[in-house]
Structure 1
């Protein structure tokens, strides 16, 4: 006789939901407040329902693990997989030692799906009794109305290993920041970095819409307990718009967080930059990011730094994208590998 499946809402303890800064107040899988106090663009408000960066964490000895998902929409992008847009992927292992295990892949055109992550019921007793630490990464490019976790009825669910600190690592930026075009959620660069540091990561990448608006800056600075704040929105704006918004955005954030480390990232090179004669514009933007950081450092801000996006994709930069702009899995891994050293200071947080 098969063991009956018991379904849990991950909103309940002992599960841990992370990556949604307003979750404890609203219990919604959403990246900005449901009713923003400040004026934010309608498209940003819409994209805030995309669940990029969200995670469900727990420990279990379940011999069978299933997931049931109801999305706000089906996959609708030609250059990004359905599993990246709408799927959950699963990692197993203690913090810093997590390994990919499986992906719950939705069927095309469907907004609901139910998948088995693993079924060890016919395996040896050693396998069936083992406790595993589990992390499920939310979809990168759709909203999640409901997600349920299913286990065999005799399984035990325990809290995950606590974070090393209650401080959060916050990223603000573009479609690349949001995760386009990773083949599955765990391959976005912010999720890769989150596996290497036992901290909560919050992804505020807004596809085509992270443009440094004042209302967005006012909203983001409301997020409590930031460990650091990463600004990576250059690719969404013109050179003039970038010059008009970057310093005001930093100044707005500094009013609430005068000592929090801020990291400015210049954008990665697009394959077409040279081909269509825009390489000079690219270099101007990159130089402005770098010179802005140097200027603020000279003015006394010792907690601001610069990451040169020109180097993030490595020697094979021209093979690291899906469309010349958005990274593939290789591109995101290269980015994470080269950015990791800039976040070493996070390992000492308590």
Structure 2
């Protein structure tokens, strides 16, 4: 019998039970150290994928415009096109752990948008007809790393979509699956995409993560491909960009550029209305039957307390409504308009009074879905 004392309290252990406890302890320690670290097989999308989801062209890396456009569009547009907003890759695997590693060139975050949105990735797994979000353990260093634990899912091949950063370029992307797991990349969707030409809001500001950008929400909810051509501060309905968009065989064209066309000396009433008209006419000439959706300015959350800010979006929306009515009167077919009231952003749906939060992004997506869902069905029937 062993007698021990601890802080004045007497307790006893039999020699036998003490020995058994020590044996169990040492066996546990030995088993822990004997376990081999998990190994991963690494896959590089650029070596296998010629067109990522959300791209309108093939073989353009992680960018959003073809290389030839560097010579035709303004430099800010070209640089922003390197941001991977709206892009992603689909794959199938039965691995219960996935590791994503990559680098970016730009700043990791902005003062009104976190690193998870600017430079992070998002992973979704398809479960029946629902896309489930997966939480990743992340570290933002020279190499950004996300690790996803997926052990609650059945050990069978599942379809995943990995969404890329909204406000950064991406390079050296690798996907690690547990050694011995099945893994293969999936081809892009075959449906004609919805093509969105817009501003910082379309690009994704200020979603907390890629999956919450309204174009990505829309694609997920409609189960339909969307090409994101939002260029922060530079969605100005320029003919050089429209010419590139005309190269895409789209199901629907969306023009949502008013937030970057605020009235000034260069952007007069005549000039803004001209750009709207010429953009619609150019798209219609190249795509006689494709639906075109023009979108009003969604407003600012401080519009009711700042008359100057309110005047900006009310003026732009009036100009768009006039141009829309004129085109319809001239017999312009398959032209639609989404209004500010239909978008319906609430007062708390903004980060900085201009850019939507996740709540605002959800409201944007719901408004778009109400208009685009029947149009996508109509496009498929044609």
Q: Same fold (TM over 0.5)?
A: yes
- How has the CA–CA distance of structure 1 residues 275 and 111 changed in structure 2, closer, same or farther, with 3 Å as cutoff? farther
- Greater displacement, 332-341 / 88-97: 88-97
Partner of 1:141 in structure 2?
A: 167
Structure 1: gaps of 5 or more residues: none
Is 2:315 aligned against 1:284? yes
Instruction: For residue 68 of structure 2, give the secondary structure of its aligned residue in structure 1.
Output: coil
Please say if residues 95 and 195 of structure 1, whose CA atoms lie closer than 8 Å, have aligned partners that are also in contact.
no
Following the alignment from structure 1 to structure 2, what is the Cα–Cα distance between the partners of residues 281 and 162?
Answer: 40
Q: Give the alignment of 1:7-18 within 5 angstroms.
A: 7-13=42-48, 17-18=52-53
Following the alignment from structure 2 to structure 1, what is the Cα–Cα distance between the partners of residues 338 and 227?
Answer: 19
Partner of 1:157 in structure 2?
A: 183
Partner of 1:297 in structure 2?
A: 328
Deviations 1:284-331 (A, max 9, x none): 2212222322322222222110001234234xx110000001000000
Partner of 1:99 in structure 2?
A: 132
Is 2:356 aligned against 1:332? no
- How has the CA–CA distance of structure 1 residues 92 and 19 changed in structure 2, closer, same or farther, with 3 Å as cutoff? same
Is 2:197 aligned against 1:172? yes
Is 2:258 aligned against 1:213? no
Following the alignment from structure 1 to structure 2, what is the Cα–Cα distance between the partners of residues 100 and 232?
Answer: 28
Is 2:229 aligned against 1:196? no
Is 2:339 aligned against 1:308? yes
- Greater displacement, 51-60 / 94-103: 94-103
Structure 2: gaps of 5 or more residues: 1-35
Deviations 1:167-193 (A, max 9, x none): 111101110010000000000100000
TM-score after normalising by structure 1: 0.89
Is 2:305 aligned against 1:275? yes
- Greater displacement, 74-83 / 275-284: 275-284
Q: Identify the match of residue 116 of structure 1 among 137, 147, 169.
A: 147
Q: Identify the match of residue 279 of structure 2 among 249, 253, 261.
A: 249
Offset at residue 273 of structure 1 (A): 2.5
Please say if residues 262 and 312 of structure 2, whose CA atoms lie closer than 8 Å, have aligned partners that are also in contact.
no
Instruction: For residue 76 of structure 2, give the secondary structure of its aligned residue in structure 1.
Output: helix
- Greater displacement, 2-11 / 61-70: 2-11
Following the alignment from structure 1 to structure 2, what is the Cα–Cα distance between the partners of residues 144 and 304?
Answer: 36
Please say if residues 20 and 202 of structure 1, whose CA atoms lie closer than 8 Å, have aligned partners that are also in contact.
yes
- How has the CA–CA distance of structure 1 residues 128 and 12 changed in structure 2, closer, same or farther, with 3 Å as cutoff? farther
Offset at residue 94 of structure 1 (A): 5.0
Following the alignment from structure 1 to structure 2, what is the Cα–Cα distance between the partners of residues 116 and 309?
Answer: 40
Please say if residues 179 and 188 of structure 1, whose CA atoms lie closer than 8 Å, have aligned partners that are also in contact.
yes
Partner of 1:318 in structure 2?
A: 347
Please say if residues 73 and 111 of structure 1, whose CA atoms lie closer than 8 Å, have aligned partners that are also in contact.
no
TM-score after normalising by structure 2: 0.82
Instruction: For residue 160 of structure 2, give the secondary structure of its aligned residue in structure 1.
Output: strand
- How has the CA–CA distance of structure 1 residues 145 and 217 changed in structure 2, closer, same or farther, with 3 Å as cutoff? same
Q: RMSD between aligned alpha carbons?
A: 2.3
Following the alignment from structure 1 to structure 2, what is the Cα–Cα distance between the partners of residues 250 and 42?
Answer: 24
Offset at residue 218 of structure 1 (A): 1.2
Please say if residues 64 and 81 of structure 2, whose CA atoms lie closer than 8 Å, have aligned partners that are also in contact.
yes
Greater relative contact order (Cα < 8 A, sep 6+): 1
Partner of 1:237 in structure 2?
A: 261
Following the alignment from structure 2 to structure 1, what is the Cα–Cα distance between the partners of residues 327 and 128?
Answer: 35
- How has the CA–CA distance of structure 1 residues 162 and 170 changed in structure 2, closer, same or farther, with 3 Å as cutoff? closer
- How has the CA–CA distance of structure 1 residues 103 and 186 changed in structure 2, closer, same or farther, with 3 Å as cutoff? farther
Following the alignment from structure 1 to structure 2, what is the Cα–Cα distance between the partners of residues 18 and 303?
Answer: 26
Instruction: For residue 195 of structure 2, give the secondary structure of its aligned residue in structure 1.
Output: strand
Following the alignment from structure 2 to structure 1, what is the Cα–Cα distance between the partners of residues 222 and 184?
Answer: 21
